[in-house]
């Protein structure tokens, strides 16, 4: 069943249940309300009759009889001291039954039973001695007729209200479900990888948040698939180049094209390209393991300042070779739960990259805070081209001095696996690039 119909069914069922309880409650209270209202009217009639009875005029009995006959009041007047009926408009059996059982049964009751049915009554003494009791009554059937008529009208109103509520519910739920249907169509576009065809959906509230998440997911999937395609293209190119060199020299040596020193040179190229190929494959495997859940990352409590010092010591030969001054500004110890070997590898990759692109100077600066450490590696080279900057940490993205194009990608994977962040930018003043690494404190 579609969501639209499910919501309408649920809303209709809720309205029916609520209306049923309301109708039952009102119907139950209606008779009590009618009885109380009828007793108030009987009391008003009784006061009129008492005034007429107490009128000292000579014709009061004639007027009283004429009034009772005209109004057709069910009435009983009796003397309880001698059990005599003074006046009645009820049947003989009902009148004597009420008089005889008045004090034992009916005196505190609102509804009395008679020969022809039940009556709503109001009884009161009409003299100072209290021995003459007047009972005024109304047949309960009259009130039940009013109750039935009211119930029928109430059912009609409830039915019309239910129809109107269902119509309003249909339009409201349709307005709610329409964005979901549109969102379903956009998700199907993502399923068919039509990422550029995904359109915004007009919605609000949680549906709007889901719609934004879906569009962000589509953009991220598009970038991921694009990077994967680019990765395979670059990987195939990087692997193809050394393989072609190895194949060319190997075939030349086999066919006797290269002899003597040329053959020895060819063998050296084969060994060099094999080492390069091995390095590329090992780095690709490491990246794959870092991205997966394989057990290649072993965190432990580590002093990051000590790792920085080790990475600096290992980069001194490269810095001297390129005539680059390596400056450091380290703070006190800073401990975190990381894999020391992997983080050291990431730091070496970042620092060596800076040395290769620097003209004369590379500086390593740390800023230790209460929650994290910020490591900045700055060089005075040409900086990073604006086209290369957004994809600098992707696989097989190389600059002028790049080797395999995997070093920065590996560094980012290690830093993020350590719970940190890494970003690169160009210096605003002067020339050069800066790599900023943030790692959290985890004592």
Domain boundary among 109, 132, 147: 147
Per DSSP, the residues of 347-372 read HHHHHHHHHHH-SSEEEEEEEE-SSE
175 found inside a domain: no
CA-to-CA distance for 387 and 404, rounded, in angstroms? 19
pLDDT > 70: what percent of the chain? 86
182 φ/ψ angles, rounded to the nearest 5 degrees: -65, -40
Please report, for residues 175, 343, 348, the alpha-carbon distance to residue 332 in angstroms, rounded to integers and kept in the order given: 61, 18, 20
Q: Beta strand pairing status for 335-338 and 361-368?
A: unpaired
> Is the pLDDT assigned to residue 225 strictly greater than 80?
no
Residue 191 lies in a domain: no
Q: Tell me: do 261 and 306 sit in the same domain.
A: no
Confidence of residue 192 (pLDDT cuts 50, 70, 90): confident
- Do 33 and 64 fall into the same domain? yes
CA distance 145 to 228: 82
Q: Does the structure show a pLDDT above 80 at 406? A: no
Cβ(368)–Cβ(343) below 8 Å: no
Q: Is 239 in the same domain as 304?
A: no
Mean pLDDT for the chain overall: 79
Report the CATH number at residue 317: 3.30.565.10
Please state which of the ranges 269-283, 301-315, 356-370, 422-436 shows the lowest mean pLDDT. 269-283
- Is 222 part of a structural domain of the chain? yes
What's 21's domain CATH number?
3.30.450
Tell me the mean pLDDT in the region 306-316.
Answer: 90
Q: Is the pLDDT of residue 220 over 70?
A: yes
Q: Determine the structural domain holding residue 240 and report its residue range.
A: 205-291
Confidence check: pLDDT of 148 > 60 = yes
| Domain edge (last residue) among 122, 147, 172 | 147
Which tokens sit at 270? 């084969």
410 and 277 inside one domain:
no
286-298: average pLDDT: 70
Residues 73 and 124 reside in one and the same domain? yes
Neighbours of 374 (CB within 10 A): 15
Write out the two tokens for 75.
């009435």
Averaged pLDDT for residues 19-27? 79
Residue 439 has a pLDDT of 92
Q: Do 287 and 227 sit in the same domain of this protein?
A: yes
185 — pLDDT class (breaks 50, 70, 90): confident
The answer to whether the CB of 384 falls within 8 A of the CB of 424 is: yes
Is residue 198, in this structure, part of any structural domain at all? no
* Number of domains making up the chain: 3
Asked whether the whole model's pTM tops 0.75, one would answer: no
C-alpha 269/C-alpha 241 separation (Å) is: 12
One domain for residues 315 and 346:
yes
Nearest to 214 by CA among 259, 169, 258, 180: 180
Sheet holding 132-139, edge to edge: 84-88, 75-79, 132-139, 117-125, 111-114
Q: Are residues 214 and 310 in the same domain?
A: no
């Amino acid at each position: 069943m579609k969501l639209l119909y499910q919501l309408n069914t649920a809303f209709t069922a809720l309205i029916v249940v609520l209306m049923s309880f309301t109708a039952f409650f009102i119907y139950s209270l209606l008779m009590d309300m009618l009885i109380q209202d009828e007793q108030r009217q009987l009391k008003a009639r009784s006061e009129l009759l008492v005034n007429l009875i107490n009128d000292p005029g000579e014709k009061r009995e004639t007027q009283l009889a004429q009034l009772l006959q005209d109004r057709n009041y069910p009435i009983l007047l009796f003397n309880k001291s001698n059990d005599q009926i003074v006046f009645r408009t009820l049947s003989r059996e009902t009148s004597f039954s009420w008089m005889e059982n008045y004090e034992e049964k009916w005196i505190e009751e609102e509804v009395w039973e008679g020969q022809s049915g039940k009556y709503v009554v109001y009884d009161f003494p009409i003299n100072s001695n209290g021995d003459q009791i007047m009972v005024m009554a109304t047949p309960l059937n009259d009130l039940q007729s009013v109750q039935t008529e009211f119930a029928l009208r109430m059912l009609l109103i409830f039915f019309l209200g239910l129809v109107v509520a269902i119509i309003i519910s249909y339009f409201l739920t349709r307005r709610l479900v329409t964005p979901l249907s549109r969102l379903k169509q956009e998700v199907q576009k993502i399923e068919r990888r039509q990422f550029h065809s995904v359109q915004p959906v007009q919605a609000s509230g949680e549906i709007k948040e889901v719609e934004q998440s879906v569009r962000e997911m589509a953009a991220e999937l598009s970038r991921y698939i694009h990077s994967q395609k680019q990765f395979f293209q670059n990987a195939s190119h990087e692997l193809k180049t050394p393989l072609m060199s190895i194949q060319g020299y190997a075939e030349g040596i086999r066919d006797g094209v290269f002899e003597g020193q040329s053959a020895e040179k060819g063998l050296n190229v084969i060994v060099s390209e094999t080492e390069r190929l091995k390095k590329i494959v090992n780095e690709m495997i490491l990246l794959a393991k870092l991205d997966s859940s394989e057990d290649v990352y072993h965190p432990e409590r580590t002093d990051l300042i000590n790792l920085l010092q080790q990475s600096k010591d290992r980069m001194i030969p490269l810095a001297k070779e390129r005539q680059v001054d390596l400056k450091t500004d380290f703070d006190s110890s800073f401990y975190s739960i990381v894999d020391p070997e992997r983080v050291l590898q990431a730091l070496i990759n970042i620092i060596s990259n800076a040395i290769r692109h620097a003209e004369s100077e590379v500086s390593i600066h740390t800023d230790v805070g209460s929650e994290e450490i910020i490591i900045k590696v700055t060089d005075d080279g040409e900086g990073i081209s604006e086209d290369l900057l957004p994809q600098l940490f992707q696989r097989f993205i190389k600059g002028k001095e790049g080797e395999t194009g995997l070093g920065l990608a590996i560094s980012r994977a290690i830093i993020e696996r350590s719970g940190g962040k890494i970003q690169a930018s160009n210096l605003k003043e002067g020339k050069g690039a800066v790599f900023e690494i943030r790692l959290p404190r985890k004592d």
